[in-house]
Each structure stands twice: as C-alpha cells, then as structure tokens.
Structure 1
C-alpha cells in the first residue's frame, strides 16, 4: 500500500514560520526553501527515477516491503500510477552532483481529473471511496501517497517543506479535499489497538465525509472502548505522520487494511481543505498565494 514514512509531524508551532518565501518569478517551480533544503515537483524522468530509488531504500531496504521481481532487480519502487502522478521532491542542495543526486524525500500527488482519466485513485484498491467522491460533486479531490524521507533527513523542517509543497500544489490546482493512505508498521492491527481505537472514536469520518475499507479487506479499528483509552498514550503510540494529519484537521475512514506486500496496516486519511486548522493556513497560505492564478 501507500506506505507513508515521515518521522516528525508539524507539531504545534507559532505562525511565524522559518519556511522562507521564494522571491522569484511567478513561474519559478520551487515551492519552498529552508536553509539548504528546497521542495518542488520533479522536472523530468531522471528525477522521478531517483525518487523511486529513495522509495525503494525506505520501503524495501528499511521496512522489508516485497515488490514485484522486476522492480526489485531495478532497486526501484515503481507502479503504474507513477506515470500519471506528479512527484513532489525535497532536495538537499548542498549535495554535490545533479539534482537527482540531491533528492532526500518525496510525495506522490494525483489530481481527481487525472485519476479519472486513467485508472482511478490508488486508495480505491483498499478503501471504498466512490461514495465519498460522489457525495461531493462540486469538490475536487487530490490523493497524497508514497511519502518517504531518508532516515538522516527525518526532521521537522523536511516535513514542513513537504507540507509546504502539498499546500502550494493544492492551492495552485484549486483542490477541495485531500485523501490518501497512511500506515502503521506491521500486519497485525491488534498491535495498534490503542491508536486505532482512538482514531475510530475521536477522528472517525462521519456524514458526507464517511468512507470505509473495502468489505473483503476490512479490519475493525474499534478494539477498545473510549473510556478505556488514555489519549496521551494513544497519541504517543501514533505514527508521527498520522498524528500530523490529525493536527491539521483530518478525519479517518472506518476500518483498517493490512498490506502484506508493504508490511503495513493502512488507514484512510480524509482532509477537507475547509477543515484545515487555521494556524496552518496562516503558516503556509501566503507562500501558496503565488500559485493562485
């Protein structure tokens, strides 16, 4: 599945940001910069290939994912969606060499119109999202996935840059909602009973935003009653990326899905842009306005 590995979330921050504005021409494709790090979309196939190699290093070499034999031989995490997605990159510009040698993190972005023109959203292989999208005919969805960062770059500033890029991209393309899968490590949902139960009770998607795991893949998240949950411990047990989604304002679909290939337990993230916490809109909004036209 879309194994999302980012070791730090945005956290509670003052609105005063150290994500520096990019004072350049309107067509500058750099979406954010902090020190030696910058974020932008991949510009060519070589950079996409390098991002796929970063994914391989994290998902296969670090986490033990089992990919098809041809991709394993190439040391790349590749699937059919790569050809139609945009690939958000974080680059360490202090590394000598070509840009593809500087890629230290990546996110894969898929807009609704592109998804519907090809094979749909990747999330639909695990979650029933058709009803969710049909209930919002006037809204435009985008999917976030395949996020990963090399171990030595798993810091707050790298995550901030990735979210700066996601936000600028969403504003540029006038997206109304973000969806995607986020992962717990391992294939035993019971090992994450505390965190999954907390998500079910506290952050479950309801009403028009409800969606659930596909019936044949559904694993119950409601494994503990709310009164038995210590919220502080539940948050401590949460993967940082999922905790970061929560702080921004995301809700989560019903049911988890076990992905044996990627050695993960996946949950569906649903993030209406209108629900994003105001402090984060302030945090990223002025930078994103460059792409509003």
Structure 2
C-alpha cells in the first residue's frame, strides 16, 4: 500500500529539464523554466551558497554556528573545501550570478572522502561499515541541502535531484547517501512520519545502517496498524519524500542534531534501486544532463 501511494504522487508533474544540447552552458546540469542547476565555478559562488545556507539553517532554523560564521553571515565548515557545491539559480532574478542562488547541495565523492578521513555523516551513522560491505562500489554523500522558502516546490526539489543524478552518472557512482532532516529536536513530534519510515523503508541486509549507539533515537513510535500512510507522507519533508519515490531506504534509528536543531535520518539510495521510470525520465546516461568528464 505504501509503495503504491508513493508512486501515485510522482514528481513527473513538473516539466522535464532541458537536455544538455539545448542548454546555454556546457556545464549546465538541468533547467526548468527560469531555474538552472550546475556546480559552483568560483569561490565567490561557494561563498554565496554559504550565505544561503546561513539564511536557512541559522536565521530560519536557529542552528548554532561559531562567532566568526555569525559575524560573516555564512554557514561554513571544514568539509566545504572537499566537496563540490551544486547550485540552483533563478535566472529571472536581476543581478549577479551570486544573487541568483536559491538552493544548494553539497556533494562528497567516495575517493575524496576516503582520502580525507571519511564521510561527514559518519559522525551520526555507521556509514563506514556500509561502505566496507561494498568494496567494489563507489559512494557519494549528499549534504547541506537547503532551498530558500519561496522556492520550496516540487520544481526545485526535482531540479536538485536532476543535478545529483547527472553528477552521479558523470562520476560513475553506485550509491548515494546522506542525512535527511526533520525540523526540531523532539523526534516524538514526528512520530507519524518516523514510524512510517521504520515500518516501510528501513534498509535491510547489505544496505543496513544503524545510528551510532550513543546517539540512537527510536523511530518506532507508533504501531504499524496506527500509521496512516497518506498522512505520514504529507507530514514528511519534501526532500525525504522525493527520495522515497525514487526507491531510497533509511537507516535504523534517528539522531538529534542539537547544533542544527534537527532530527536526522540516514537516506540510502543505491543507483540499482531507482525505478526504471525515473531512469528513463532523468536520462540513463550522463550525457543528457551532464557534460562529459
């Protein structure tokens, strides 16, 4: 029943992004209307993305940052220098490119993470054991996803995914993972959605991942028979719901992030699990939305 409900509410309501051949720039990863997605090209663009993150995480969600970040109005950490930064720009906004950034995502490739001590989400979930169980696979971590309030629509979420998809294909990624966040630090406030995830989407077997024992918070807050799937999906953050549509699983247990004022779950999405209809829609090769390596 839950899978049917997810599939019924497809992302395909949004218009498809233009293929690369119709794009105005070689590194464009996708376009819907006036919105475009691509990687940051300059330090100034990364700085502008960090300013967007500050507006969302600190000013809106009340995350705690160090005094220097607060003075500069930027969300910055040591991982920024290791990651690629995916941007969503609204070309209808007058001004410089930096003024047009309305959403961003941070992408960390497997080889870069291993060379620098691991993945960011390893501080909350047992992702090292997950990676070790798949020695022949290339992983990518998605993080720091945020979109300005007026752009939180299916169109923007879809464009973020299109950028991640093109990037993953370009770099021959086998699986993606990253933290998906619910607002606030009281998991009980999200009992319906978390219980739905526990009963319907927890990863098993070779893809199983647990929250670290000292951070583990229970997701099984309601019995299965008491969970209304439609209401649970409605109560879920759009990004998490979007990943479920694609075929994602979640880790076992949630983690409360006091600094960011969120309750986190781990999203796990093997490329092989993505529904064929989405592969056909987004493009089965990197050439559709991404430039050649």
TM beyond 0.5: yes
Aligned residues of 1:17 and 1:283 also touching (Cα < 8 A): no
Match of 2:114 in 1: 116
Residue in structure 2 matching 1:225, options 223, 229, 243: 223
What residue is the counterpart of 2:53 in the other structure? 55
Pairs aligned (count)? 284
* SS at structure 2 position matched to 1:178: strand
In 1, are the aligned partners of 2:14 and 2:154 still within 8 Å (CA)? no
In the alignment, which residue of structure 2 is the partner of 1:145?
A: 143
Aligned to 1:188: 186
Q: Measure, in 1, the Cα distance between the counterparts of 2:234 and 2:13.
A: 24
Q: Taking CA–CA contacts closer than 8 Å with sequence separation of 6 or more, which of the two structures ends up with the larger relative contact order?
A: 1
- Name which of 238, 243, 266 aligns with 2:264: 266
**Equivalent residue, structure 2, for 1:66:** 64
Whether 1:159 and 2:157 are equivalent positions in the alignment is yes
Unaligned runs of at least 5 residues, structure 2: 1-7
Cα shift at 1:82: 0.3
Shift of 1:27: 8.1
1:236 equivalenced with 2:234 (yes/no): yes
Q: How far did 1:287 drift?
A: 7.1
Aligned to 1:134: 132
1:289 Cα deviation from its structure 2 partner: 2.7
Aligned to 1:201: 199
| Structure 1 segments (4+ residues) deviating >6 Å | none
1:149-179 Cα shifts (integer Å, max 9, x gaps): 1112122221121111000000000000000
CA deviations over 1:63-91 (Å, ceiling 9, x no partner)? 11111111111100000000010000011
Q: Indicate yes or no: 2:90 matched with 1:92.
A: yes
Distance 1:50 1:246 in 2: 30
The alpha carbon displacement at 1:11 in A equals: 4.5
Q: Over residues 98-154 of structure 1, what are the superposed CA-to-partner deviations in whole Å (9 max), with x where a residue is unaligned? A: 211111110000001001111311100100111111111111000001011111212
Q: Which blocks of at least 5 consecutive residues in structure 1 are unaligned?
A: 1-9
Cα distance in structure 2, aligned partners of 1:272 and 1:243: 16
The CA RMSD measured in Å over matched residues stands at: 2.0
Which secondary structure does the structure 1 equivalent of 2:74 belong to? coil
Per the normalisation by structure 1, the TM-score is 0.92
1:126, 1:58 → 2: CA distance?
21
CA distance in 1, matches of 2:161, 2:9: 12
Between stretches 90-99 and 166-175, larger displacement belongs to 90-99
Q: Please give the alpha-carbon distance, in whole angstroms, between the structure 2 residues aligned to 1:287 and 1:133.
A: 24
Q: Which residue of 2 aligns with 1:4?
A: none
Alignment of 1:171-182 (within 5 A): 171-182=169-180
- Partner residue in 1 for 2:4: none
User: Are 1:214 and 2:208 an aligned pair?
Assistant: no
